[in-house]
Amino acid sequence: MNCNKTIKQLPAYLDHELSRQEVAELELHLEICIFCSTELGALRATSKMLDAWQDTSPRRRYVDSVLNQIRAEERGVTGKAKIGMRLLHQRCVPTAIRAAAAIVFLIGFSVFSGHVPIKRTQDGVALSGVGDLEPAKPIPPEKYLMPSYIRPSEIGLVLRGYDNRSPIVKTSSGGLPIRNSRDGRFFFGRGGFTEVNHVYFPRDGMSVESVVPLELP
Amino acid sequence: MKSQFENVTDEELMCLVQNGNMDAFSELARRYEGRLLSFLHRFVGNVTQAEDLLQATLLRVYRARARFKGSGKFSMWLYTIAANLAKDYLRKTRKYRFIALDAPVGQSSNVIDFYEAKGESASESAQKKEISRLVRLAVERLPHDQKLTILLSHYEGMRYGEIAKVLGCSKGTVKSRVFRAKMKLKEFLADYLAGKEVAPSNELQQDDKTIAGISGS
Protein backbone atom coordinates (compact mmCIF):
# COMPACT_ATOMS: atom_id res chain seq x y z
CA MET A 1 0.00 0.00 0.00
CA ASN A 2 1.37 3.42 -0.88
CA CYS A 3 1.06 6.69 1.07
CA ASN A 4 -1.61 8.15 -1.19
CA LYS A 5 -3.94 5.21 -0.71
CA THR A 6 -3.19 5.03 3.01
CA ILE A 7 -4.02 8.69 3.60
CA LYS A 8 -7.36 8.23 1.82
CA GLN A 9 -8.18 5.29 4.07
CA LEU A 10 -7.27 6.96 7.36
CA PRO A 11 -10.66 8.55 8.23
CA ALA A 12 -12.44 5.28 7.46
CA TYR A 13 -9.82 3.47 9.57
CA LEU A 14 -10.55 5.75 12.52
CA ASP A 15 -14.28 5.21 11.99
CA HIS A 16 -13.80 1.40 11.94
CA GLU A 17 -15.19 1.22 8.42
CA LEU A 18 -12.42 -0.84 6.81
CA SER A 19 -12.38 -4.56 6.23
CA ARG A 20 -9.94 -6.75 8.18
CA GLN A 21 -7.71 -7.08 5.15
CA GLU A 22 -7.69 -3.32 4.57
CA VAL A 23 -6.86 -2.71 8.23
CA ALA A 24 -4.00 -5.20 8.12
CA GLU A 25 -2.51 -3.62 4.98
CA LEU A 26 -2.91 -0.13 6.37
CA GLU A 27 -1.34 -0.94 9.73
CA LEU A 28 1.56 -2.59 7.98
CA HIS A 29 2.18 0.60 6.07
CA LEU A 30 1.79 2.77 9.17
CA GLU A 31 4.54 0.82 10.92
CA ILE A 32 7.08 1.82 8.34
CA CYS A 33 5.86 5.26 7.29
CA ILE A 34 6.38 8.21 9.62
CA PHE A 35 4.52 10.57 7.30
CA CYS A 36 1.32 8.52 7.35
CA SER A 37 1.62 7.85 11.09
CA THR A 38 1.89 11.57 11.71
CA GLU A 39 -1.11 12.17 9.48
CA LEU A 40 -3.08 9.59 11.46
CA GLY A 41 -2.16 11.38 14.71
CA ALA A 42 -3.31 14.70 13.28
CA LEU A 43 -6.62 13.20 12.16
CA ARG A 44 -7.12 11.63 15.59
CA ALA A 45 -6.51 15.00 17.24
CA THR A 46 -8.94 16.65 14.84
CA SER A 47 -11.63 14.08 15.63
CA LYS A 48 -11.07 14.59 19.34
CA MET A 49 -11.38 18.32 18.92
CA LEU A 50 -14.70 17.89 17.12
CA ASP A 51 -16.10 16.49 20.37
CA ALA A 52 -15.79 19.94 21.90
CA TRP A 53 -18.82 21.09 19.94
CA GLN A 54 -21.46 20.45 22.55
CA ASP A 55 -25.02 19.32 22.07
CA THR A 56 -27.84 21.81 22.10
CA SER A 57 -30.05 21.60 25.15
CA PRO A 58 -33.74 21.65 24.32
CA ARG A 59 -35.36 24.81 25.68
CA ARG A 60 -38.73 23.20 26.06
CA ARG A 61 -40.66 20.06 25.11
CA TYR A 62 -41.24 20.51 21.40
CA VAL A 63 -43.37 17.44 21.16
CA ASP A 64 -46.14 19.18 23.09
CA SER A 65 -46.55 21.88 20.47
CA VAL A 66 -46.39 19.26 17.72
CA LEU A 67 -49.08 17.20 19.43
CA ASN A 68 -51.21 20.33 19.84
CA GLN A 69 -50.85 21.07 16.15
CA ILE A 70 -51.74 17.51 15.20
CA ARG A 71 -54.81 17.60 17.43
CA ALA A 72 -55.81 20.94 15.95
CA GLU A 73 -55.40 19.55 12.43
CA GLU A 74 -57.43 16.53 13.32
CA ARG A 75 -60.13 18.83 14.61
CA GLY A 76 -60.01 20.53 11.23
CA VAL A 77 -58.31 23.65 12.43
CA THR A 78 -55.22 24.47 10.47
CA GLY A 79 -52.45 26.63 11.66
CA LYS A 80 -51.99 28.25 8.30
CA ALA A 81 -51.94 31.79 9.61
CA LYS A 82 -49.24 30.98 12.11
CA ILE A 83 -47.24 28.94 9.65
CA GLY A 84 -47.45 31.75 7.11
CA MET A 85 -45.97 34.17 9.55
CA ARG A 86 -43.26 31.73 10.51
CA LEU A 87 -42.40 31.19 6.87
CA LEU A 88 -41.98 34.89 6.40
CA HIS A 89 -39.48 34.79 9.20
CA GLN A 90 -37.64 31.94 7.58
CA ARG A 91 -37.31 33.48 4.17
CA CYS A 92 -34.45 35.83 3.94
CA VAL A 93 -35.63 39.05 2.38
CA PRO A 94 -33.09 40.31 -0.08
CA THR A 95 -33.91 44.01 -0.16
CA ALA A 96 -35.19 46.67 2.13
CA ILE A 97 -38.28 47.00 -0.06
CA ARG A 98 -39.14 43.37 0.29
CA ALA A 99 -38.48 43.62 3.97
CA ALA A 100 -40.77 46.60 4.25
CA ALA A 101 -43.39 44.67 2.30
CA ALA A 102 -43.07 41.85 4.79
CA ILE A 103 -43.57 44.30 7.64
CA VAL A 104 -46.62 45.81 6.02
CA PHE A 105 -47.97 42.38 5.19
CA LEU A 106 -47.47 41.03 8.65
CA ILE A 107 -48.89 44.02 10.44
CA GLY A 108 -51.68 44.28 7.89
CA PHE A 109 -52.36 40.60 8.20
CA SER A 110 -52.48 40.91 11.93
CA VAL A 111 -54.88 43.84 11.76
CA PHE A 112 -57.24 42.34 9.23
CA SER A 113 -57.11 38.82 10.50
CA GLY A 114 -59.46 39.94 13.22
CA HIS A 115 -58.34 37.50 15.85
CA VAL A 116 -54.70 38.49 15.99
CA PRO A 117 -54.61 41.92 17.60
CA ILE A 118 -51.49 43.99 17.77
CA LYS A 119 -50.26 44.98 21.16
CA ARG A 120 -47.41 47.24 22.03
CA THR A 121 -45.27 46.43 24.98
CA GLN A 122 -43.96 49.03 27.35
CA ASP A 123 -40.58 48.93 25.72
CA GLY A 124 -42.07 49.76 22.33
CA VAL A 125 -42.11 46.35 20.72
CA ALA A 126 -45.21 45.64 18.66
CA LEU A 127 -46.50 42.14 19.16
CA SER A 128 -49.33 40.40 17.45
CA GLY A 129 -50.97 37.34 18.81
CA VAL A 130 -53.69 35.95 20.96
CA GLY A 131 -53.61 36.71 24.66
CA ASP A 132 -52.66 39.51 26.92
CA LEU A 133 -49.38 40.95 27.91
CA GLU A 134 -48.17 40.17 31.33
CA PRO A 135 -47.86 43.07 33.76
CA ALA A 136 -44.45 44.55 34.06
CA LYS A 137 -42.19 42.15 35.81
CA PRO A 138 -39.35 43.78 37.70
CA ILE A 139 -36.02 42.56 36.47
CA PRO A 140 -32.89 43.32 38.45
CA PRO A 141 -31.08 46.14 36.71
CA GLU A 142 -27.99 44.07 36.18
CA LYS A 143 -29.99 41.55 34.17
CA TYR A 144 -31.44 43.90 31.63
CA LEU A 145 -29.48 46.37 29.63
CA MET A 146 -30.59 48.72 26.90
CA PRO A 147 -28.35 50.38 24.39
CA SER A 148 -27.70 53.95 25.33
CA TYR A 149 -26.80 55.17 21.91
CA ILE A 150 -27.67 54.05 18.42
CA ARG A 151 -27.69 56.32 15.43
CA PRO A 152 -30.74 56.01 13.14
CA SER A 153 -28.50 55.56 10.14
CA GLU A 154 -27.01 52.50 11.78
CA ILE A 155 -30.29 50.70 12.08
CA GLY A 156 -31.00 47.96 9.65
CA LEU A 157 -33.89 45.58 9.42
CA VAL A 158 -35.03 43.89 12.57
CA LEU A 159 -37.45 41.02 12.58
CA ARG A 160 -38.35 40.15 16.11
CA GLY A 161 -40.94 38.32 18.08
CA TYR A 162 -41.47 35.90 20.88
CA ASP A 163 -42.50 32.33 21.05
CA ASN A 164 -43.43 31.58 24.62
CA ARG A 165 -40.89 34.03 26.00
CA SER A 166 -38.15 32.80 23.73
CA PRO A 167 -37.17 35.78 21.65
CA ILE A 168 -37.06 35.27 17.92
CA VAL A 169 -34.92 37.91 16.31
CA LYS A 170 -33.31 38.23 12.95
CA THR A 171 -31.59 41.32 11.80
CA SER A 172 -29.38 42.80 9.21
CA SER A 173 -26.95 44.97 11.05
CA GLY A 174 -25.50 47.02 8.24
CA GLY A 175 -22.02 45.95 9.24
CA LEU A 176 -22.16 46.92 12.90
CA PRO A 177 -21.24 44.96 15.96
CA ILE A 178 -24.13 43.16 17.54
CA ARG A 179 -24.76 42.80 21.22
CA ASN A 180 -27.30 40.96 23.20
CA SER A 181 -28.51 42.21 26.51
CA ARG A 182 -28.80 39.80 29.39
CA ASP A 183 -32.47 39.16 28.83
CA GLY A 184 -31.80 37.81 25.36
CA ARG A 185 -32.60 40.96 23.41
CA PHE A 186 -30.38 42.03 20.58
CA PHE A 187 -29.12 45.38 19.49
CA PHE A 188 -26.56 46.62 17.12
CA GLY A 189 -24.75 49.86 17.05
CA ARG A 190 -21.95 51.54 18.87
CA GLY A 191 -22.01 52.81 22.40
CA GLY A 192 -22.63 51.38 25.82
CA PHE A 193 -25.62 49.97 27.58
CA THR A 194 -27.76 51.59 30.25
CA GLU A 195 -29.95 49.88 32.76
CA VAL A 196 -33.71 49.78 32.78
CA ASN A 197 -35.92 48.28 35.40
CA HIS A 198 -38.63 46.28 33.77
CA VAL A 199 -40.25 45.19 30.56
CA TYR A 200 -43.47 43.48 29.52
CA PHE A 201 -43.43 39.91 28.36
CA PRO A 202 -46.14 37.91 26.65
CA ARG A 203 -48.00 35.54 28.92
CA ASP A 204 -47.12 31.87 28.95
CA GLY A 205 -48.56 30.12 25.96
CA MET A 206 -49.10 33.32 24.03
CA SER A 207 -47.80 32.76 20.55
CA VAL A 208 -46.77 36.07 19.14
CA GLU A 209 -44.72 37.28 16.24
CA SER A 210 -43.90 40.74 15.13
CA VAL A 211 -41.88 42.61 12.60
CA VAL A 212 -40.94 46.07 13.69
CA PRO A 213 -38.09 48.43 13.08
CA LEU A 214 -35.88 48.82 16.09
CA GLU A 215 -36.93 51.93 17.93
CA LEU A 216 -34.53 54.39 19.36
CA PRO A 217 -34.36 54.50 23.12
CA MET B 1 -41.83 7.08 36.81
CA LYS B 2 -41.24 4.39 34.25
CA SER B 3 -42.62 4.87 30.80
CA GLN B 4 -45.08 2.26 29.59
CA PHE B 5 -42.93 2.08 26.45
CA GLU B 6 -39.61 1.62 28.18
CA ASN B 7 -38.73 -1.68 26.52
CA VAL B 8 -40.48 -1.02 23.25
CA THR B 9 -38.29 -0.49 20.18
CA ASP B 10 -38.62 2.54 17.93
CA GLU B 11 -40.00 0.41 15.14
CA GLU B 12 -42.60 -1.15 17.41
CA LEU B 13 -43.59 2.29 18.60
CA MET B 14 -43.92 3.43 15.00
CA CYS B 15 -46.22 0.50 14.37
CA LEU B 16 -48.39 1.72 17.25
CA VAL B 17 -48.29 5.25 15.80
CA GLN B 18 -49.53 3.84 12.50
CA ASN B 19 -52.48 2.48 14.43
CA GLY B 20 -53.22 5.93 15.82
CA ASN B 21 -51.51 5.70 19.19
CA MET B 22 -50.51 9.26 20.07
CA ASP B 23 -48.76 8.23 23.27
CA ALA B 24 -46.41 6.10 21.20
CA PHE B 25 -45.72 9.09 18.96
CA SER B 26 -45.05 11.25 22.00
CA GLU B 27 -42.59 8.66 23.31
CA LEU B 28 -40.78 8.49 19.96
CA ALA B 29 -40.54 12.26 19.79
CA ARG B 30 -39.29 12.42 23.36
CA ARG B 31 -36.57 9.89 22.55
CA TYR B 32 -35.25 11.85 19.63
CA GLU B 33 -36.00 15.53 20.21
CA GLY B 34 -32.70 16.28 21.97
CA ARG B 35 -30.50 14.48 19.47
CA LEU B 36 -32.40 15.81 16.53
CA LEU B 37 -32.27 19.38 17.82
CA SER B 38 -28.48 19.17 18.21
CA PHE B 39 -28.14 17.70 14.73
CA LEU B 40 -30.32 20.37 13.13
CA HIS B 41 -28.73 23.19 15.10
CA ARG B 42 -25.29 22.09 13.98
CA PHE B 43 -26.45 21.83 10.40
CA VAL B 44 -28.38 25.10 9.99
CA GLY B 45 -26.40 27.06 12.60
CA ASN B 46 -29.42 28.71 14.17
CA VAL B 47 -31.23 27.35 17.18
CA THR B 48 -34.63 28.88 16.41
CA GLN B 49 -34.60 27.54 12.87
CA ALA B 50 -33.42 24.22 14.26
CA GLU B 51 -36.39 24.21 16.62
CA ASP B 52 -38.74 24.98 13.75
CA LEU B 53 -37.17 22.24 11.65
CA LEU B 54 -37.38 19.82 14.56
CA GLN B 55 -41.10 20.44 14.91
CA ALA B 56 -41.54 20.25 11.14
CA THR B 57 -39.69 16.92 11.16
CA LEU B 58 -41.87 15.49 13.92
CA LEU B 59 -44.98 16.68 12.12
CA ARG B 60 -43.77 15.13 8.87
CA VAL B 61 -43.09 11.87 10.66
CA TYR B 62 -46.62 11.79 11.97
CA ARG B 63 -48.21 12.78 8.68
CA ALA B 64 -46.15 10.26 6.73
CA ARG B 65 -46.47 7.48 9.32
CA ALA B 66 -48.25 5.22 6.89
CA ARG B 67 -45.20 5.29 4.60
CA PHE B 68 -42.81 3.93 7.22
CA LYS B 69 -41.90 0.34 6.46
CA GLY B 70 -41.41 -1.74 9.55
CA SER B 71 -38.44 -3.51 7.99
CA GLY B 72 -36.35 -0.34 8.06
CA LYS B 73 -34.70 1.38 10.97
CA PHE B 74 -36.82 4.22 12.34
CA SER B 75 -33.87 6.46 13.22
CA MET B 76 -32.64 6.40 9.63
CA TRP B 77 -36.07 7.26 8.29
CA LEU B 78 -36.30 10.08 10.82
CA TYR B 79 -32.88 11.49 9.91
CA THR B 80 -33.70 11.25 6.22
CA ILE B 81 -36.74 13.45 6.79
CA ALA B 82 -34.81 15.87 9.00
CA ALA B 83 -31.89 16.11 6.59
CA ASN B 84 -34.17 16.74 3.61
CA LEU B 85 -36.07 19.48 5.44
CA ALA B 86 -32.82 21.08 6.60
CA LYS B 87 -31.31 20.91 3.10
CA ASP B 88 -34.45 22.53 1.66
CA TYR B 89 -34.21 25.26 4.26
CA LEU B 90 -30.55 25.94 3.50
CA ARG B 91 -31.18 25.90 -0.24
CA LYS B 92 -33.83 28.57 0.15
CA THR B 93 -31.67 30.73 2.35
CA ARG B 94 -28.25 30.25 0.81
CA LYS B 95 -28.29 33.41 -1.29
CA TYR B 96 -28.99 35.82 1.49
CA ARG B 97 -27.87 35.36 4.99
CA PHE B 98 -29.25 37.08 8.03
CA ILE B 99 -27.39 37.10 11.26
CA ALA B 100 -29.42 34.89 13.52
CA LEU B 101 -29.57 36.34 16.96
CA ASP B 102 -31.66 33.80 18.67
CA ALA B 103 -29.08 31.87 20.60
CA PRO B 104 -30.11 31.66 24.23
CA VAL B 105 -27.88 33.48 26.61
CA GLY B 106 -24.77 31.44 27.22
CA GLN B 107 -24.90 29.79 23.81
CA SER B 108 -24.73 32.85 21.64
CA SER B 109 -22.55 32.58 18.64
CA ASN B 110 -22.00 35.79 16.79
CA VAL B 111 -22.99 38.18 19.49
CA ILE B 112 -21.17 39.59 22.45
CA ASP B 113 -22.21 37.40 25.31
CA PHE B 114 -22.23 38.68 28.83
CA TYR B 115 -22.73 35.32 30.48
CA GLU B 116 -20.44 32.62 31.74
CA ALA B 117 -21.28 29.00 32.34
CA LYS B 118 -22.09 28.20 35.94
CA GLY B 119 -19.51 26.38 38.04
CA GLU B 120 -16.60 27.14 35.76
CA SER B 121 -13.93 29.71 36.10
CA ALA B 122 -13.93 32.49 33.56
CA SER B 123 -10.83 31.11 31.85
CA GLU B 124 -12.12 27.50 31.66
CA SER B 125 -15.42 28.66 30.35
CA ALA B 126 -13.74 30.94 27.84
CA GLN B 127 -11.44 28.17 26.66
CA LYS B 128 -14.28 25.70 26.19
CA LYS B 129 -16.28 28.28 24.34
CA GLU B 130 -13.33 29.12 22.16
CA ILE B 131 -12.69 25.50 21.17
CA SER B 132 -16.37 24.95 20.54
CA ARG B 133 -16.49 28.11 18.46
CA LEU B 134 -13.46 27.08 16.40
CA VAL B 135 -14.98 23.68 15.69
CA ARG B 136 -18.31 25.22 14.76
CA LEU B 137 -16.66 27.70 12.41
CA ALA B 138 -14.56 24.97 10.84
CA VAL B 139 -17.54 22.67 10.24
CA GLU B 140 -19.59 25.58 8.90
CA ARG B 141 -16.96 26.12 6.21
CA LEU B 142 -17.59 22.67 4.77
CA PRO B 143 -19.88 22.24 1.76
CA HIS B 144 -23.36 21.12 2.81
CA ASP B 145 -22.97 17.51 1.67
CA GLN B 146 -19.69 17.07 3.56
CA LYS B 147 -21.04 18.88 6.60
CA LEU B 148 -24.09 16.65 6.70
CA THR B 149 -21.94 13.55 6.33
CA ILE B 150 -19.64 14.60 9.16
CA LEU B 151 -22.57 15.45 11.43
CA LEU B 152 -24.17 12.07 10.85
CA SER B 153 -20.89 10.21 11.15
CA HIS B 154 -19.18 11.99 14.02
CA TYR B 155 -22.01 13.39 16.10
CA GLU B 156 -24.82 10.92 15.39
CA GLY B 157 -22.50 7.91 15.31
CA MET B 158 -23.96 6.46 12.13
CA ARG B 159 -22.15 3.85 10.05
CA TYR B 160 -21.23 4.79 6.49
CA GLY B 161 -23.84 2.39 5.14
CA GLU B 162 -26.55 4.05 7.22
CA ILE B 163 -25.46 7.52 6.15
CA ALA B 164 -25.60 6.39 2.54
CA LYS B 165 -29.23 5.33 3.01
CA VAL B 166 -30.15 8.56 4.79
CA LEU B 167 -28.53 10.73 2.11
CA GLY B 168 -29.51 8.54 -0.81
CA CYS B 169 -25.97 8.01 -2.09
CA SER B 170 -23.46 5.18 -2.24
CA LYS B 171 -21.26 4.07 0.63
CA GLY B 172 -18.23 5.00 -1.47
CA THR B 173 -19.54 8.54 -1.78
CA VAL B 174 -19.95 8.75 1.99
CA LYS B 175 -16.40 7.48 2.49
CA SER B 176 -15.08 10.02 0.04
CA ARG B 177 -17.03 12.88 1.67
CA VAL B 178 -15.81 11.92 5.12
CA PHE B 179 -12.24 11.86 3.82
CA ARG B 180 -12.51 15.27 2.18
CA ALA B 181 -14.28 16.78 5.17
CA LYS B 182 -11.80 15.43 7.70
CA MET B 183 -8.83 16.66 5.69
CA LYS B 184 -10.36 20.12 5.48
CA LEU B 185 -11.20 20.17 9.17
CA LYS B 186 -7.63 19.14 9.97
CA GLU B 187 -6.43 22.06 7.89
CA PHE B 188 -8.93 24.54 9.36
CA LEU B 189 -8.06 23.55 12.92
CA ALA B 190 -4.34 23.14 12.31
CA ASP B 191 -3.30 26.31 14.13
CA TYR B 192 -5.12 25.35 17.28
CA LEU B 193 -3.91 21.76 17.16
CA ALA B 194 -0.34 22.95 16.70
CA GLY B 195 -0.71 24.89 19.95
CA LYS B 196 -0.60 28.27 18.33
CA GLU B 197 -2.55 31.22 19.60
CA VAL B 198 -5.63 31.65 17.49
CA ALA B 199 -6.43 35.20 16.54
CA PRO B 200 -9.83 36.51 17.56
CA SER B 201 -12.43 35.54 15.06
CA ASN B 202 -13.31 37.87 12.25
CA GLU B 203 -16.54 35.93 11.95
CA LEU B 204 -18.58 38.95 12.89
CA GLN B 205 -17.00 41.11 10.27
CA GLN B 206 -17.54 38.40 7.67
CA ASP B 207 -21.16 38.08 8.63
CA ASP B 208 -21.59 41.79 8.61
CA LYS B 209 -20.14 42.04 5.14
CA THR B 210 -22.73 39.56 4.02
CA ILE B 211 -25.45 41.49 5.72
CA ALA B 212 -24.15 44.81 4.50
CA GLY B 213 -24.37 43.39 1.02
CA ILE B 214 -28.01 42.60 1.61
CA SER B 215 -28.80 45.93 3.14
CA GLY B 216 -27.11 47.79 0.40
CA SER B 217 -28.68 45.85 -2.42
Spatial contact of B45 and B140, defined as CB atoms under 8 Å apart: yes
Spatial contact of B114 and A182, defined as CB atoms under 8 Å apart: yes
If one counts every other C-beta atom within 10 angstroms of the C-beta of residue B143, the result is 12
Closest CA to A43 of B140, B143, B189: B189
* Predicted confidence (pLDDT) at residue B103 exceeds the cutoff of 50: no
Dihedral sign for Cα B44, B47, B52, B56, please: positive
Considering the segment(s) B102-217 as one domain, its CATH architecture is Orthogonal Bundle (1.10)
* Predicted confidence (pLDDT) at residue B96 exceeds the cutoff of 50: no
The 10s digit of each residue's pLDDT in A115-149 is 345 555 545 555 545 455 554 444 443 333 343 33
Cα–Cα distance between B36 and B83 in angstroms, integer? 10
**Above pLDDT 90, what percent of chain B?**
32
The 10s digit of each residue's pLDDT in A67-114 is 888 887 776 644 444 443 444 444 433 455 455 544 544 444 433 333
First to last CA, chain A: 68
Asked which of A63-67, A165-169, B30-34, B109-113 is least confident by mean pLDDT, the reply is: B109-113
Cross-chain residue pair B51–A46, CB shorter than 8 Å: no
Domain spans of chain B, in order of start: 1-95, 102-217
Q: Is A166 near chain B, with CB under 8 Å?
A: yes
Q: What integer best gives the mean pLDDT of chain A?
A: 59
Q: Could you tell me the fold of the domain covering B1-95?
A: Rna Polymerase Sigma Factor; Chain: A (1.10.1740)
Which of A36, A173, A182, A188 to substitute to test the interface with B, most B CBs within 10 Å? A173
Average pLDDT of the residues in A154-171: 43
Interface predicted TM-score (ipTM): 0.73
Q: Are strands A145-147 and A193-195 parallel, antiparallel or unpaired?
A: antiparallel
* Predicted confidence (pLDDT) at residue B21 exceeds the cutoff of 50: yes
Cα–Cα distance between B141 and A151 in angstroms, integer? 33
* Predicted confidence (pLDDT) at residue A194 exceeds the cutoff of 60: no
Q: In what order do the strands lie in the sheet with A207-210?
A: A118-120, A126-129, A207-210, A158-163, A166-171, B99-100
Compute the count of residue pairs across chains A and B with CB atoms less than 8 Å apart: 191
